[in-house]
Chain A
Amino acid sequence: MDNKNEIILELAYLYPDLLNIYGDRGNVLTLSYRCQLRGINLNVTPIKITEKIDPEKVDVYFMGGGQDQQQIIVSEDLQSKKNDLISAIQNNVVFLAVCGGYQLLGKYYKAADGTELKGIEAVDLYTVAGDKRMIGNVMCEEIESGEELFGFENHSGKTYLGSSTKPFAKVIRGGGNNGEDGFEGVRYKNIFGTYLHGSFLPKNPYIADKIIRLALERKGIKMPEINIDDSLENLARKKAEKLRY
């Protein structure tokens, strides 16, 4: 079928084979499903180490979290993609980064022994290793909308935001960025950085839709308005509200 009116969005999934142990692929599944319901074709292209990205083509980037060995490899490889990614971000490309992926968008991750894992400096933030791991069910509130967000955090890195950025959410229950200032994640341009696994988007469809809308608007396309049955999502959210940290 050659439908000239078909809307296509291109998603680049960064390092799915290396950053893959915290269920973050559920985010891509959710974007794909909610696009499909709206008649949008979301093309997912996995990007492996040393593979080039076509910055002209990509509408949405996704990067998840992983283990430290894998993150070292990713950090090195990202340096070769750094310029392309930064200019894409400046051009308002949508970017969802979770946990390790979120940290690598910043300046660096400083380990307990002082060694620094380089980020791509796309966002004004940095992370230092903390001595207490933050693990548990998080409940927070998106600052832009007041929408409740749910997820599971599992990190010892403490992230501090610079003045040119805004936090993504206000923590109601949990550690968030650093366990100190009561904020979670980052918002800058069309970047969404967060520590929340769960997976994050399946239980937070509002954010999934927002990501799709931003990606469409950047291309000058209006988001198709449809009714989506979110009854299972709402049940899971209701449950998440009652979980302990």
Chain B
Amino acid sequence: MIFLLSLWLSKLLSIIISACKLGQASNFPGKVALLITNDFLTHFKFNKEIKIILITGTNGKSTTCGLLCNILKSAGCKVITNKAGANLLSGISSTLSFHSDIFGNIEEKYLVLEVDEATLPLITKFIKVNFIAVTNLFRDQLDRFGELDTTAKLIEKGINNCSNATVILNADDSRVAFLKANNKKIYYGINRVIPEGSPLNDKIWLNDPQENTVCPECKSELVFTTKLMAHLGNYKCKQCNFKRPEPDFAVSGFKADDLIINFDISSNSFSQSKNNFFLPMIGLFNLYNALCSIAIAKTILNVTSVQIQKGFQSYSTIFGRGEKIIIKDKTAWLFLIKNPTGTTEILKTLSTVPNARFLIAINDDFADGRDVSWLWDARFDILSNHKKDIYVSGKRAEDMALRLKYANIHQDKIHIQENIVAGMNKSLKSLDSSEILYILPTYTALLELQRKGICKAAPKD
């Protein structure tokens, strides 16, 4: 009875919040329900055939989740999912309460949730899940010492709560592949391919940002035969037997150009030996997200290649992850940058685009990371052959300008305009008719553009 009361209160709150335009009601209603009933999630009555899929990991949760939902929808499935970022207990409680009837019944057959790494054990304690996917484990400079290991242990705990769930793991991330669980495991990874358009710096100490080069089993050094980005690749321990597991779903080749990634997948679960897809996104990290979504979709349901492709095509990008805007006949694209690896991947792609112009907006609020040191780990040297003027904006525009100076961009070509909107207007004005502006903002810089109505936040559902 108490559950029903908290459910109704939660539903009522979400109606009020939406009606009064107080926000997206993605967290608060669940938060209140949890205050009244702390095991709120256990009381929902799911469809008997329901498949519950959780996606966790440091990067790519929202995108993978969005791509998977789209694939399932194109296969005719009814799917419930949480809003991008509403991935804590309160957000997930809000999602379930919103989608259930007044008695807590949920009719849909697919529940796809992105889950914060630390929240995973809480969710799996309350509901029986069928699939858990782990995308990768990165650590950024915001984190405390030792947290990567702590995060991995929380995920292990979350998986161990559901011994019957199948886990879908990124084989290319040593710490993810190493996760200890007796569950059935499915691996995905990108096989030995030389990525195109990946400029190497002649000074090896200036190459791509990397981390996690230690064997999770015996702490010796890991040796890589291929490294695709950051610490993701084909690895083997120097001392013990630990090595990358053979992927069940593997990208066997890919080509990235014109803001599209074209790739082949080989897997026994497809009827053909080679399956070609194209993804309207940039950056190798998105190839990993797409691969993960395929691995999940194929594991839970026999979707066809056509349905997968349809799912990719209908995917409208989520907030700032590649959004096209048109202002006064000028075209601009927005790509959120937040860490060295992601930024480097975006720069690799955009540096090959002819007639590209850049506006880089760096803030240092808490959500951006207060330390701008990471700019020095990102490979801005990829822009060293860029002949056109570059605009820099945001609270740390001067630091960005200095970084560009060290990327061999001539000082006269760097224009500082701290105000982001002014920076955007000025850079748009400087475009000739053939040029396209690529805006690379950090998180709060992007929020600022959104608040000014310049870009929109497209929710993934």
Contact = CB atoms under 8 A, between A and B. Distances in A.
Contacts of B219: 69, 72-73
A137 interface: yes
Contact of A236 (B221, B374, B402): B402
Interface stretch (B142-150, B249-257, B262-270): B142-150
27 contacts: A20-B377, A21-B140, A21-B141, A22-B141, A23-B371, A23-B376, A25-B376, A25-B377, A29-B206, A46-B205, A49-B221, A69-B148, A73-B221, A135-B370, A137-B370, A152-B371, A156-B144, A156-B145, A197-B373, A198-B373, A199-B373, A202-B406, A203-B399, A232-B401, A232-B402, A235-B402, A243-B364
A20 B373 contact: no
Nearest to B377: A23
Which 4 pairs from chain A and chain B are nearest by CB? A23-B373, A23-B376, A26-B376, A16-B205
Contacts of A236: 398-399, 401-402
Contacts of B402: 202-203, 232-233, 235-236
Contacts of B403: 26, 202
A67 to B, nearest CB: 7
A22 B211 contact: no
A25 B344 CA distance: 15
B372 interface: yes
B204 interface: yes
Contact of A26 (B204, B398, B406, B414): B406
B57 to A, nearest CB: 18
B215 to A, nearest CB: 10
Interface string A59-77: 0000000011110110000
Contact of B374 (A23, A69, A238): A23
A188 interface: no
Contacts, number: 113
Interface of A: 13, 16-18, 20-26, 28-30, 33, 44, 46, 49, 67-70, 72-73, 133, 135-137, 152, 154, 156, 197-199, 202-203, 229, 231-233, 235-236, 238-239, 243
A236 B211 CA distance: 28
Contacts of B204: 16, 46
Contact of A73 (B139, B214, B373, B401): B214
Interface residues of B, number: 39
B138 to A, nearest CB: 10
A229 B376 contact: no
A156 B147 CA distance: 14
Nearest to B411: A232
Given A72-B219, A239-B399, A202 B376 contact: yes
B343 to A, nearest CB: 12
B373 A67 contact: no
A29 B403 CA distance: 10
Interface in B202-216: 203-206, 209-211, 213-214
A242 B206 CA distance: 30
A232 B397 CA distance: 10
A119 to B, nearest CB: 17
A3 to B, nearest CB: 21
A237 to B, nearest CB: 8
B54 interface: no
A229 B411 contact: yes
Given A135-B370, A152-B372, A25 B141 contact: no
A243 B398 CA distance: 12
B386 interface: no
Contact of B205 (A13, A69, A73, A229): A13
B209 A44 contact: no
B414 to A, nearest CB: 7
Contacts of B141: 21-22, 154
A229 B414 CA distance: 14
Interface in B379-435: 396, 398-399, 401-403, 405-406, 411, 414, 416
B373 A235 contact: no
Contacts of B375: 23
A100 B332 CA distance: 41
B372 A235 contact: no
B337 to A, nearest CB: 14
Count chain B CB atoms within 10 A of each CB in A70, A133, A199 and give the residue with the most.
A199
Contact of B203 (A44, A231, A232): A44
A202 B402 CA distance: 8
Contact of B209 (A20, A69, A156, A233): A20
Contacts of A13: 205
B442 to A, nearest CB: 15
Given A20-B377, A44-B203, A67 B398 contact: no
Contacts of B149: 69
B403 to A, nearest CB: 8
Nearest to B374: A23
A152 B373 CA distance: 8
